[in-house]
Structure 1
Amino acid sequence: MQEQTNSVEIGKHYEKLAEKFLVIHGYIILRKNYKKREGEIDIICQRDKDIVFVEVKYRTSIKNGFPREYVTYKKQKKIIIASKYYIMEENHYDVNYRYDVIEIYKNNINHIENAFLGG
């Protein structure tokens, strides 16, 4: 149980780094850790008229692949389903939206816009 608690705390730390990064780059944070039974979205933000659903992934090294590679097709589907709930709940039918990934490894933050397509 201790290992899981540390993992959650570490995840929250990196999500806060990603949040600060987004704010510095002109995004407005709308929601964090938006959860539905079908999936979860780490950060929902807005820039201009675009709603952006952001998945945050971190790794201590890239020896086993970049963090973005851990956003699997299955994970993408869950994010897309959760995003559709958010769009309905907030009545955001008239805005553009996209799915981004922020990958963090060591001291590098890489913001990948349009990391995958929603369907």
Structure 2
Amino acid sequence: MKKYNKAIGNYGETLSRDFLINNGYNILDMNYRNRYGEIDIICRKNNLIIFCEVKSRYTNSFGNPIESVTYYKQKQIIKLSQIYLLYKRYYNYNVRYDIIEVIFNNKNASFKVNHIKDAFRLY
């Protein structure tokens, strides 16, 4: 089951990356990881650095994908983003945190990508 979930997640991240590229985003990094965790997609558009968390699901029986990005996960992404910005020396950019939901159809190969811009903020 773990391999199956990982495969769904990887496919959802690939679809999300393609969606962002088609909408004019420049992908800076994918699956940025350090000892604090991982950020799925980091991209840039205009003077804005966007950190995206991708959630892929086949069913809503455990809730909508956005609901799985808890307060703890948001804080973890914010901490990781601050480290990333310092490491890459991105000083003069504004930051946004997005969530991308990829919902697959059980009956065929179709899917829906829902890009939630500015899903949470650093307070």
**Contact 2:39-2:52 at 8 Å conserved across structures:** yes
Q: Please, which runs of 5 or more residues in structure 2 have no aligned partner?
A: 105-110
Residue in 2 aligned with 1:112?
116
State the Cα distance separating 1:5 from its structure 2 match: 2.1
State the Cα distance separating 1:93 from its structure 2 match: 1.6
CA RMSD of aligned residues (A): 1.1
Cα distance in 1 for residues equivalent to 2:92 and 2:40: 23
Deviation string for 1:24-46 (max 9, x for gaps)?
Answer: 00001000000121121000000
Residue in 2 aligned with 1:66?
64
Cα distance in 1 for residues equivalent to 2:115 and 2:98: 7
Cα distance in 1 for residues equivalent to 2:45 and 2:117: 12
Residue in 2 aligned with 1:43?
41
Aligned-residue sequence identity (percent) comes to 44
Aligned-partner SS, 2:74: helix
Q: Please, which runs of 5 or more residues in structure 1 have no aligned partner?
A: none
Aligned-partner SS, 1:34: strand
Residue in 2 aligned with 1:16?
14
State the Cα distance separating 1:8 from its structure 2 match: 1.6
Q: Does 1:101 align with 2:105?
A: no
**Contact 2:8-2:56 at 8 Å conserved across structures:** no
Deviation string for 1:69-119 (max 9, x for gaps)?
Answer: 110111111111110110001111210111000011122111000000024
Q: Structure 1 residue runs of 4+, over 3 Å off?
A: none
TM normalised by structure 2 equals 0.90
How many residue pairs are counted as aligned between the two chains? 117
